Amino acid sequence: MSDQSPKKKDQKKPKNPLGDYAKYSTLGFQMLVIILGGILGGRYLDNLFQLQFPVITLLLAIVSVALAIYIAIKDFIRFK
């Protein structure tokens, strides 16, 4: 049999507001780095191929935003 009473099992750890702030600010920073990386990479490739219209920048910007949102949602679900 278990020596723990039901009260001890139901008790939760107290929330740490500073820890929550650190988790979510890191999540925002990750999103920023992913989006900026996509945009800067697209600009570099557009300049490399000497394109007049920034097609690669637009495509990589859209893909990087979608990737950043996917990673944020995945990490947000993991934090809960």
How confident is the model over 42-58, as pLDDT tens digits?
Answer: 999 999 999 999 999 99
- What's the pTM value of the predicted model, to 2 decimals? 0.76
Q: Which pLDDT band holds residue 7 (cuts at 50, 70, 90)?
A: low
Angstrom distance (rounded) from CA 64 to CA 31: 9
- Residue 39: CA count within 13 A, CB half-sphere: 8
Helix (H, G, I), strand (E, B) or coil at 35: helix
Angstrom distance (rounded) from CA 80 to CA 75: 9
Q: What angle do CA 15, 31, 16 make, to 5 degrees?
A: 10
Q: Is the pLDDT of residue 9 over 90?
A: no
Q: Is the pLDDT of residue 5 over 60?
A: no
The single-letter code of the amino acid at 71 is I
